[in-house]
Structure 1
């Protein structure tokens, strides 16, 4: 598996020669620095550890400083691991957006926007109780009945109810790489990716 850590810049749209409009997400993908190379002999599996995003030295632990010093790089904010990489990289090497080509399919992993405590209409798409006559007071967004009577005499686990919404790890599969800008480390991906502007995402292929 090959991948890179990036930062979501925002969304825009591009137009093709035939006038077709495509909504795209701009991601600043890398450059990432290889901070550790794992091998079956030492670690029991193949993987490379990459780092992205600058971090102040005063906010970095001594252990992290020594770890990054081995790769001859400055402290980084985000560190991720990619197992079974297609191409082995040496310690301290950079991974850039060049690993992607226009037209190929990728997966993007991110943390969705947190929406706080939400009701069943927003959280699960319920339509509400509906009828507003015959004593239905303030029931238009209510969940309705949630449990039985004497049997089962409880609410089943997993019942769709109100609660914390968003702020979850989300993986969007099969997005198309529309355009790559190596000089700016930008990659344009069709459609939307999870997370707010400025959030960290993983791009997998």
Structure 2
């Protein structure tokens, strides 16, 4: 299987685009350009981190059938980010521990609905998007790390030239249980009615 990332303006290959490959043996990370051997059958490739100065363009997913003895090719498009403007840091954290979450995906659009980019958090839990013109933007978490549930809320923020706006979400672990202990309840002594009683 061959995987390439191409500059959408020049058509030239771009090195360093990170992607996830999932086949019947599990999931692993690859970096473009690459050729790897996978077992015959269904394979899915998901965009992860774009190299510095680039953003993914178009669909972030590819899937197909790999046949025995044949080479299947998959291509992703990248576009250079504009220089200047302001930026957004989309941040994902564990709601229980506060720890940063790697691999969360955020989609950024203008407040009028124009798609700008999809970015992914790194080990620090931050997904930066730079070179944005000043204005209003909506940020939505569109993918969570394995084992977490997203907040499913869209946040709005304003970007100013030379400034960074930060949007933080707190994802809940899927297996987290709230333990209730009735022995530590606080008794209610009175409830104000607002009628002077």
Give me the TM-score of the superposition, normalised by structure 1: 0.20
- Larger proportion of helix: 1
- Larger proportion of strand: 2
Between structure 1 and structure 2, the one with the greater Rg is 1
Give me the TM-score of the superposition, normalised by structure 2: 0.20
